[in-house]
Chains A and B, each alone.
Chain A
Amino acid sequence: DAGVTQSPTHLIKTRGQHVTLRCSPISGHKSVSWYQQVLGQGPQFIFQYYEKEERGRGNFPDRFSARQFPNYSSELNVNALLLGDSALYLCASSLVEGLYYEQYFGPGTRLTVT
């Protein structure tokens, strides 16, 4: 069974541009979360979606947005890119939302903003 997949694996963008990152959860998983991991730091929570609804949002500016599709895949959009947006963006999926659930992470998308 395939794990969480993310695309693209690497991306180079220029300041001010827009980027869309994609995530496909494990088959049957209905919850997707997005994290930003800056080099040398732990991941920071950005969004969680469950059944196509936003269930949680971290402390990120409005330039960051996301959505979940009927097939439970998800997109993370970042507008007006800044140099500080350079990071590994991780997607994680889980079967359901709840207090005791396992999250499975994808390999991440490495975004470099120049």
Chain B
Amino acid sequence: KNQVEQSPQSLIILEGKNCTLQCNYTVSPFSNLRWYKQDTGRGPVSLTIMTFSENTKSNGRYTATLDADTKQSSLHITASQLSDSASYICVVSLSGAGSYQLTFGKGTKLSVIP
């Protein structure tokens, strides 16, 4: 069964600190991996998207890494801000003719406190 597992489930950090979120996946065949930010009750917003040949991709204070051999990814947030408080969801795209489904993890709920 294709799965995406994220850790930790939730995280509380002080404003200005860095943090790293983890994602392990078993989706096969793998097309690409994305990280989304989702504010409560809102739709997810894309942060990064990486194919299997990419090891790292940055978007401002967000840096995602991918190890396609171990099927692991991480999202590193630098100098956190209060507005970073949200759920961060790891999403893996399944490749295959006629099917472009996205498999979502359950997300890591990040709370940034003053």
Report yes or no: A45 in contact with B102, Cβ–Cβ below 8 A: yes
- Do B106 and A88 have beta carbons less than 8 Å apart? no
Residue of B nearest to A58 (CB): B101
Q: In the complex, what distance in Å separates the CA atom of A97 from the CA atom of B96? A: 12
Of all chain B residues, which has the CB nearest A90? B43
B106 partner, pick from A41, A90, A98, A110, beta carbons under 8 A: A41
Q: Which of B32, B36, B99 has the most CB of A within 10 A?
A: B99
State which residues 6-59 of A face B: CB under 8 Å.
33, 35, 40-45, 48, 55-56, 58
CB distance from B72 to the nearest CB of A (A): 18
Count of A-B contacts judged by CB separation below 8 Å:
62
Please measure, in the bound complex, the distance between the C-alpha atom of A110 and the C-alpha atom of B40, giving whole angstroms: 12
Minimum Cβ distance to chain A for residue B68 (Å) = 15
Q: How large is the interface on B (under 10, 10 to 19, 20 to 34, 35 or more residues)?
A: 20 to 34
Beyond A99-B31, A100-B32, A107-B43, is A43–B49 a contact (Cβ under 8 Å)? no
Complex contact B105–A97 (CB within 8 A): no
Question: Which residues of chain B from 8 to 46 have a CB within 8 Å of any chain A CB?
Answer: 31-32, 36, 41-46
**Bound CA–CA A66/B29 (angstroms):** 27
Q: B32 near A99 (CB under 8 angstroms)?
A: yes
User: Taking the nearest CB of chain B, how far is it from the CB of A53, in angstroms?
Assistant: 10
Residue contact A99 to B95, C-beta cutoff 8 Å:
yes
Q: Does A56 lie within 8 Å of B41, measured CB to CB?
A: no
Determine how close the nearest CB of chain A comes to the CB of B55; give it in whole angstroms. Answer: 16
**A43 nearest CB neighbor, chain B only:** B104
Q: Given the known inter-chain contacts A4-B43, A110-B41, please indicate yes or no for A55 contacting B105, CB distance below 8 A.
A: no
In the complex, A58→B103 CA distance in Å? Answer: 10
Which A residues are CB-close (under 8 A) to B31?
A: 99-100
Interface residues of B (CB under 8 A from A): 4, 31-32, 36, 41-46, 49, 51, 89, 91, 93, 95, 98-107
Query: With A56-B98, A108-B42 given, can you name 4 additional A-B contacts, CB distance below 8 Å?
Result: A4-B43, A42-B91, A100-B32, A110-B41
- Interface positions of A (Cβ within 8 A of B): 4, 33, 35, 40-45, 48, 55-56, 58, 88, 90, 92, 97-108, 110
